[in-house]
Amino acid sequence: MSLQSLASAPSLRKGMLGTALTISSDELDDVVLKAASRRDAHEFSLQITAAWTRFNLAALEKEAARLDRILARVVSLAAPSQYPAACEIAPLLDDARALDSALLSKLNAEAIGPEAVARIAPVRKFASDPRTLRANGIAAFVTAELDRWKDFFDNIESNPLTPEQRLSVVVDEDATLVLAGAGSGKTSVITAKAAYLVKAGIRQPEEILLLAFAKNAAEEMSERVEARSGVPIVARTFHAIAYDIIGIVEGSKPALADHATDDMAFTNLIKQILKDLVYRLSEVSKAIIQFFAHFLVEPKTEWDFKTKHDFYTHMESQDLRTLQGEKVKSYEELQIANWLYENGVEYEYEPVYEHKIAETGRRDYQPDFRLTESGIYIEHFGVRRQKVADGSERLITAPFVDRDEYLAGMDWKRKVHAEHETTLIETYSYERQEGRLLTGLAEKLAPHVTLKPRSPDTIYDRIVELKQVDDFSKLLGTFLRKFKSGGYSLQDCETKSNQMKLGKRAQAFLDVFAPVFEEYQKRLDGRIDFEDMILRAAHYAETGRYVSPFRHILVDEFQDISQSRARLVKALKAQHPNVRVFAVGDDWQSIFRFAGSDIHLMRHFGREFGGAFDGEAGVHRTVDLGRTFRSVDLIAFAARTFVLRNPAQIQKQIVPAGTATEPAIRVVSVSKGEDEAKLSEVLTAVSAALAPEATPATVLLLGRYRFVEPNLREQRRRFPRLKISFKTIHASKGLEADHVILLNADSGRTGFPSEIVDDPLLSLVSPEEEAFQNAEERRVMYVAMTRARHTLTILASNARPSSFVTELKKDPAYGIVAPPGVELEEHGCSECGGRLLGVTGKDGRIWYRCEHVQHCGNLLPACQSCGTALPRGTDGTTAVRCACGATYPSCPQCEDGWLIERSGSYGKFLGCVRYPTCVGKAKTSSGDRSTLTKPRRRNRA
């Protein structure tokens, strides 16, 4: 039995036949010597104990140097001289636990004595509870360091750093994320961090990598660090450091493609590749024409939506323009029109029927298509087939369409053609569902029409003429860059398409993209683009061909980081065990997903960049700067409330720059054609509020798109005391002004939030989608709001205000103020579920019309009594009441209308105010109240 295996000193027990000596072991069963003499047993016990003690003390002495080294570092954690980061303390913990397992845990307190026990106790405590000791060490270091560097923090910038900024500088975890809200002084933090690392002797300048996204930002940061601290640290863009890495590994830097720095040249290259492929390769040209003709827009129909409002909203975000040039009302009509054009069949879309129909109380009949040579009509009916219990089939309509009314409309149209002996060809939604809409159409037309297919070249020239190539080339270009930077393969895209059920459109797109990408890579001809640059550099760092000198990596605007850039940072971090990542950013300002930025890298910062300690992965530290030096309280708090409607955004506290003494956010309603006049009114008010001796105020005009930019030269001439500038919201990042005016906050494709959202195809090469509706557009709005120091004015159409404006006005939490005057309310549209919005008509009267004016057509006059408000029905009554007190009989036919007196061929009667859209009527009576009669329901298919 080895002395090492003894668990304790031997024990003696007196029995009837003598003394029993028990020796306990950790490795074997206890050994008991029985019936020994008392003296012999005692003597033997003393000899074993002495030998055991000598053995333990010898073992301890053998590891004395190792123990002392570990002990000194553990004891130093009480007042550490450097930040006890996980990467620094994890090796110490490994050493302590290895020593504890191999020796300390096996030493017996009785054998080594109280002095030795006290000596090893701190190491054993650290091994068993390292997190507490490290946390205490961090707290002690931070407190002492903040005091030690107080003068530095007071003087590094023109104003002393805030407590939060100071904390972010001295914290030096494996990965540190500084949450820098709008106007919180993030540049001051990076400047101070870089200077502190060098001045404190933590790093040499060449060991610090300072990364920015834009070249001008990098230059500005380099100048600022040196000017503020005297420390010569050169900030670089991701592309610059990547290019340097490639040059070091390869011995020279490959030529950069001409289009790499010119977005227009890049898009033009894609357009040229498309054109060349159409004219050169027949199979590819077919794929390209097929996509333009049938998959350019998202192939959704009314069957994909539960309400009219959702369907109309989707349709307004699509440009359903045919190859012939007209706009159609549904995707299936688009397919039919483009098939006719491809096959050289001349047609008219929605012509007025050639025969006059007897008075029906509705607009003239307009069939979907008329073929000009043959005179044949085509009607496309939105019906599908459904099997019923007895095995037969019935026709059904989309969820929000009245089936009986729609089927009656189909019968009416068939009768019209039968009565006037015109040929009607019918197509149905169920044919597309079954994959035979166009083949079926070809069969039906075969007896009447000779097809004359147009050549791909001719069709492509037409596509160019319609300017559809421009947007598609941008889509292809964006897809290509994201495809390369994300390291995707075509197989990856196809797999993801199947998972997301994007269907034939995605496959049609990939059939075009594959040859375009192949040709693009050929045309690089040995040169590289920015995507190649980042990925090649990351590969060299990952494989060790590039040896990084960097121990601290400081990243500005971290919310804009992409997967490829993150890969480069991780590769550089992995080269040495003690490399730190210090990231400054604001997830509330992450607005460049279209350029590849991945907000999830910031939201899961610890998982992506953190260290490991005591079995815990993703160890990192987050510091919230909180305080804004820009916006007054009303703007700062409203912006915070607005962006946090999305629960996925990281919670941050805001300390505003000051207290507003008057309303800070206003919404101004703009009638059609009044944009310039309303802007001038706002600028006049801003200028008039300036004190005579005040310096000129800065005014920043913001637009979601550049096309909303007004005539700046004229505005500057009229308001010389205002420094007026215009930026798109994306270009305004980092800017601020005394007063901000947000232009065109309207609904619609090019409104705000933009309805030209990322094409779903981009999801094949994009980070996972965010579940919250308009998540990124909400962050764009936050950026716009937080450019303002004192006031924010939002100009919004009174006919089509954006959903953001509606939210801001309705919720008292935002404290929004509308200017004096009549503020027309919004009401729900009973026809489609959208909004009825008050507008001023050409006749000067106020009308309420549905926001989906192209599709719904619900239009109501304001109350005839007050001329401004909209009468609304009351549950349980047959009356419609206005806020002004006027009442009207409700319409028996529709939900929104009411009856007014009209004259007809048979005298006076009560008719709906929505006539001719609604033909609801009632008889007049000689008494005070009207006798309502519900007329026969008219078809409105």
Do 558 and 682 lie in a common domain? no
Please give the pLDDT value at position 362.
Answer: 63
Cis ω for the linkage preceding 453 (within 30 of 0): no
Sheet holding 552-555, edge to edge: 235-237, 208-212, 552-555, 580-585, 175-179, 621-624
How would DSSP label each residue in 560-606? G-BHHHHHHHHHHHHTSTT-EEEEEE-GGG---GGGTB-HHHHHTHH
Average pLDDT of 320-344?
A: 93
Please give the pLDDT value at position 757.
Answer: 63
Do 41 and 95 lie in a common domain? yes
Is 181 marked within a binding site? yes
Please give the pLDDT value at position 429.
Answer: 95
User: 319 lies in a domain?
Assistant: no
- Mean pLDDT rounded to a whole number for the chain: 89
Higher pLDDT, 316 or 392: 392
Is 185 marked within a binding site? yes
Q: Residue 927: which pLDDT band, with cuts at 50, 70 and 90? A: very low
Task: Select, from the ranges 317-321, 400-404, 931-935, the one with the highest average predicted confidence (pLDDT).
Answer: 400-404
Angle of helix 186-199 relative to helix 163-170, nearest 10 degrees, comes to 40
Please give the pLDDT value at position 756.
Answer: 67
Q: Residue 930: which pLDDT band, with cuts at 50, 70 and 90? A: very low
- Range list of β-strands (E), 312-376: 347-349, 369-371
Do 663 and 808 lie in a common domain? yes
User: 497 lies in a domain?
Assistant: no
Strands 18-23 and 11-15: antiparallel
Please give the pLDDT value at position 811.
Answer: 83
The rounded percent of the chain whose pLDDT value lies above 70 is 96
Is 344 marked within a binding site? no
Look at residue 875 and tell me whether its pLDDT is greater than 50. Answer: yes
User: 68 lies in a domain?
Assistant: yes
CA distance 801 to 914: 23
**On the CB side of 911, how many CA atoms lie within 13 Å of its CA?**
14
Do 659 and 803 lie in a common domain? yes
> What are the CA-CA distances from residue 812 to residues 240, 634, 779, 883 (Å)?
48, 12, 20, 22
Look at residue 779 and tell me whether its pLDDT is greater than 50. Answer: yes
Average pLDDT of 47-71?
A: 90
Q: Residue 639: which pLDDT band, with cuts at 50, 70 and 90? A: very high
Higher pLDDT, 522 or 474: 522
Do 567 and 585 lie in a common domain? yes
User: 539 lies in a domain?
Assistant: yes
Task: Report the number of distinct structural domains present in the chain.
Answer: 5
Look at residue 560 and tell me whether its pLDDT is greater than 50. Answer: yes
Is 367 in a helix, a strand, or coil?
coil
Angle of helix 86-102 relative to helix 130-148, nearest 10 degrees, comes to 140
Is 282 marked within a binding site? no
Is 182 marked within a binding site? yes
Please give the pLDDT value at position 931.
Answer: 40
What the block records as the tokens of 507 is 């496959």
Do 615 and 651 lie in a common domain? no
Average pLDDT of 67-96?
A: 95
The residue written with tokens 């980061």 in the block is 85
Look at residue 660 and tell me whether its pLDDT is greater than 60. Answer: yes
Please give the pLDDT value at position 928.
Answer: 41
Please give the pLDDT value at position 252.
Answer: 93
Look at residue 519 and tell me whether its pLDDT is greater than 70. Answer: yes
Please give the pLDDT value at position 386.
Answer: 92
Last residue of a domain, one of 451, 470, 495: 451
Q: Residue 5: which pLDDT band, with cuts at 50, 70 and 90? A: confident
The rounded percent of the chain whose pLDDT value lies above 90 is 55
Q: 407-460 pLDDT, tens per residue?
A: 999 999 999 999 999 999 999 999 999 999 999 999 999 999 999 999 988 999
| Dihedral, 442, 444, 447, 453 alpha carbons, nearest 10 | -20
Q: Residue 934: which pLDDT band, with cuts at 50, 70 and 90? A: very low
Do 737 and 769 lie in a common domain? yes
Look at residue 938 and tell me whether its pLDDT is greater than 50. Answer: no
User: 330 lies in a domain?
Assistant: no
Do 664 and 740 lie in a common domain? yes
Please give the pLDDT value at position 935.
Answer: 36
Residue numbers of the domain that contains 400 = 345-451
Q: 366-386 pLDDT, tens per residue?
A: 999 999 999 999 999 999 999
CA distance 790 to 660: 7
**Using an 8 Å Cβ cutoff, are 228 and 222 in contact?**
no
Do 88 and 125 lie in a common domain? yes
Higher pLDDT, 322 or 748: 322
- Report the CATH number at residue 723: 3.40.50.300
Q: Which residues of 907-934 are buried (b: 16+ CB within 10 A; e: fewer)?
A: eeebbbbbbebbbbbbeeeeeeebebee
Do 687 and 713 lie in a common domain? yes
Cis ω for the linkage preceding 935 (within 30 of 0): no
Last residue of a domain, one of 89, 118, 138: 138
Q: Residue 876: which pLDDT band, with cuts at 50, 70 and 90? A: low
Do 59 and 36 lie in a common domain? yes
Last residue of a domain, one of 417, 451, 485: 451
Lowest mean pLDDT among 132-141, 440-449, 898-907: 898-907
Q: 781-839 pLDDT, tens per residue?
A: 999 999 999 999 999 988 788 889 989 988 888 888 766 555 667 788 988 988 888 88
Do 118 and 154 lie in a common domain? no
Please give the pLDDT value at position 818.
Answer: 65
Average pLDDT of 570-592?
A: 94
Is 180 marked within a binding site? yes
Q: Residue 554: which pLDDT band, with cuts at 50, 70 and 90? A: very high
Average pLDDT of 266-274?
A: 93
Strands 616-619 and 907-912: unpaired
pTM for this predicted structure: 0.80
User: 456 lies in a domain?
Assistant: no
What the block records as the tokens of 557 is 């605007």
User: 299 lies in a domain?
Assistant: no
Q: 712-769 pLDDT, tens per residue?
A: 999 999 999 999 999 999 999 889 999 999 999 998 778 888 876 667 888 898 777 6
CA distance 547 to 539: 12
User: 144 lies in a domain?
Assistant: no
Please give the pLDDT value at position 823.
Answer: 62
Q: 669-706 pLDDT, tens per residue?
A: 888 888 999 999 999 999 999 988 889 999 999 999 99
Please give the pLDDT value at position 933.
Answer: 37
Is 497 in a helix, a strand, or coil?
helix
CA distance 124 to 105: 8
Look at residue 108 and tell me whether its pLDDT is greater than 80. Answer: no
Please give the pLDDT value at position 939.
Answer: 38
Please give the pLDDT value at position 249.
Answer: 97
